[in-house]
């Protein structure tokens, strides 16, 4: 451990307020630990916040994605176009439907899906586009919605990393057919584990509610209407989520503070790049603070993150994209060279400590160390 850094600086952390404790205690006091009133309240408040009429909670972001795909009708043999640079939950959820994930490359500067590459990947089997609003940014949705209309495709928005983010004044999760959120413990607001789908379609909401709850029958409960899943979020987790939702504005303020301070500290370092945001389309809400290196930095990403780790500063490498995953190359005929920008970011991108409670002093310390390493 370094003398300058007596403590580890984690890559993320969360702020848990009084409301979370109060609401969870209420679940325990009332014995509503499975299903209960916090589930509905969390669904109503969060879906309303993202400008959707309906919210259906699930057990995770992964199950929200799976439920979203099943709800819009993705089935055996379909293809789903998806951003290559993402959490593999996206590709896995497609495979759970026995459909084929078709990775689309990203823009190198923003790390977001490049809509211009979509049309040439459309085949007779294409059923849906899964856009992933990565790291608190929004994908350019207008061209995607146009393509979806032209080819009659469904649009699923993965908003796991983009709570509250807007595209041209519209909240992500309300633009496509269906949105999917994660409330895992590193997300902007958290239930510990949890997820939600959001939609403005009553039909889709009703279908999702049935599918997530074992498709119980309406007249005879135990005569099931279809093959369903148990993706029910417990009341205790919803209570946590609702408590977190109560402090969402304060959390956004913290994110803004962290983002602005890192940007000010790191904006002029040779070879160190901060992903670009288009403020004319995106209302950005930082999820975690990302960087990527080019040859001018002088040290590779792996060397830099190793040196940071040695002085107790935690980091996370960028995603290994779908096209680089052996399981997909082998089973789904995907070529590793398909997405060169995603591959570049995989090698050069990473994020640095940016959890909600990181102090300005620690932000300055992390920044100072990165700059120092670049000059070695």
Residue closer to ligand PLP, measured from CB, 117 or 160: 160
87 binds ligand PLP (CB under 6 A): yes
10 Å CB burial of residue 92 (0-12, 13-18, 19+) is middle
Nearest approach in angstroms of CB 162 to ligand PLP is: 8
Instruction: Report which of 156, 102, 97, 93 is spatially closest to residue 126, judged by C-alpha positions.
Output: 102
Part in contact with ligand PLP (CB under 6 A); list of ranges 85-93, 138-146, 293-301, 340-348: 85-93
Backbone φ and ψ for 272, nearest 5 degrees, come out as: -110, 120
Which of 151-170 are b and which e, b meaning 16 or more Cβ less than 10 Å from the residue's Cβ? eebbbbbbbbbbbbbbbeee
- Which position among 9, 80, 82, 89 is part of the footprint of ligand PLP (CB under 6 A)? 89
Give me the half-sphere count of Cα atoms (radius 13 Å) on the Cβ side of residue 106.
31
62 binds ligand PLP (CB under 6 A): yes
174 binds ligand PLP (CB under 6 A): no
Give me the half-sphere count of Cα atoms (radius 13 Å) on the Cβ side of residue 365.
21
Part in contact with ligand PLP (CB under 6 A); list of ranges 84-92, 203-211, 270-278, 357-365: 84-92
Residue 243 and residue 233: Cα distance in Å, rounded? 15
229 binds ligand PLP (CB under 6 A): no
157 binds ligand PLP (CB under 6 A): no
355 binds ligand PLP (CB under 6 A): no
For residue 19, give the H/E element and its range.
Answer: helix 18-30
Instruction: Report which of 276, 271, 285, 287 is spatially closest to residue 354, judged by C-alpha positions.
Output: 287
Part in contact with ligand PLP (CB under 6 A); list of ranges 1-9, 41-49, 154-162, 273-281: 154-162
Nearest approach in angstroms of CB 179 to ligand PLP is: 12
Part in contact with ligand PLP (CB under 6 A); list of ranges 107-115, 153-161, 349-357, 361-369: 153-161
67 binds ligand PLP (CB under 6 A): no
Nearest approach in angstroms of CB 158 to ligand PLP is: 5
11 binds ligand PLP (CB under 6 A): no
Backbone φ and ψ for 82, nearest 5 degrees, come out as: -150, 145
Positions in 113-152 near ligand PLP (CB under 6 A): 132
The token duo for 303 is 């060397």
**Looking only at Cα atoms, what is the longest distance across the chain?**
72
The token duo for 30 is 């009332």
Region for 74 from its dihedrals, namely left if φ exceeds 0, alpha if ψ lies in -120 to 50, beta otherwise: beta
Query: Strand pairing partners for 184?
Result: 192
182 binds ligand PLP (CB under 6 A): yes
Residue closer to ligand PLP, measured from CB, 112 or 182: 182
61 binds ligand PLP (CB under 6 A): yes
Nearest approach in angstroms of CB 204 to ligand PLP is: 19
Residue 343 and residue 105: Cα distance in Å, rounded? 9
Residue 88 and residue 347: Cα distance in Å, rounded? 17
Positions in 196-215 near ligand PLP (CB under 6 A): none
- Which position among 60, 254, 290, 374 is part of the footprint of ligand PLP (CB under 6 A)? 60
Residue closer to ligand PLP, measured from CB, 184 or 344: 184
Residue closer to ligand PLP, measured from CB, 97 or 272: 97
What is the torsional sign of CA 288, 108, 61, 207?
Answer: positive
For residue 2, give the H/E element and its range.
Answer: none
Which residue number places its CB atom closest to ligand PLP?
61
- Which residues form the interface with ligand PLP (CB under 6 A)? 60-62, 86-87, 89-90, 132, 158, 160-161, 182, 184, 195
């Amino acid at each position: 451990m370094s003398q300058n850094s007596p403590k580890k600086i984690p890559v993320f952390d969360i702020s848990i307020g009084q409301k979370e404790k109060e609401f969870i205690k209420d679940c325990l006091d009332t014995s509503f630990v499975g299903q209960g009133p916090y589930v509905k309240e969390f669904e109503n408040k969060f879906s309303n916040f993202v400008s959707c009429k309906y919210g259906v909670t699930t057990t995770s972001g992964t199950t929200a994605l799976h439920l979203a795909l099943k709800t819009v009708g993705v089935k055996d043999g379909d293809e789903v176009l998806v951003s290559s640079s993402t959490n593999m939950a996206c590709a896995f959820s497609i495979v759970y439907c026995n459909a084929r994930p078709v990775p689309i490359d990203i823009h190198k500067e923003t790390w977001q899906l490049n809509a211009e590459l979509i049309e040439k990947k459309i085949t007779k089997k294409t059923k849906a586009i899964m856009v992933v609003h990565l790291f608190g940014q929004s994908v350019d949705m207008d061209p995607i919605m146009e393509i979806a209309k032209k080819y009659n495709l469904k649009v699923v928005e993965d908003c796991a990393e983009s709570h509250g983010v807007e595209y041209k004044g519209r909240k992500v999760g309300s633009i496509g057919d269906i949105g999917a959120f994660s409330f895992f413990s590193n997300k902007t607001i958290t239930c510990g584990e949890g997820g939600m789908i959001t939609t403005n379609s009553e039909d889709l909401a009703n279908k999702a509610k049935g599918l997530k709850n074992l498709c119980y029958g309406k007249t005879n409960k135990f005569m099931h209407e279809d093959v369903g899943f148990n993706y029910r979020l417990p009341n205790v987790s919803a209570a946590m989520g609702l408590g977190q939702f109560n402090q969402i504005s304060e959390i956004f303020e913290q994110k803004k503070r962290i983002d602005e301070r890192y940007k000010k500290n790191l904006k002029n370092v040779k070879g160190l790049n901060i992903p670009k945001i288009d403020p004319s389309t995106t209302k950005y809400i930082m999820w975690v603070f990302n960087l990527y290196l080019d040859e001018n930095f002088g040290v590779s990403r792996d060397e830099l993150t190793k040196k940071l780790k040695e002085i107790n500063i935690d980091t996370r490498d960028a995603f290994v994209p779908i096209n680089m995953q052996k399981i997909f190359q082998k089973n789904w005929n995907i070529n590793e060279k398909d997405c060169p920008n995603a591959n570049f970011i995989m090698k050069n991108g990473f994020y640095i400590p940016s959890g909600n409670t990181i102090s300005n002093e620690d932000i300055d310390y992390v920044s100072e160390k990165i700059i120092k390493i670049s000059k070695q």
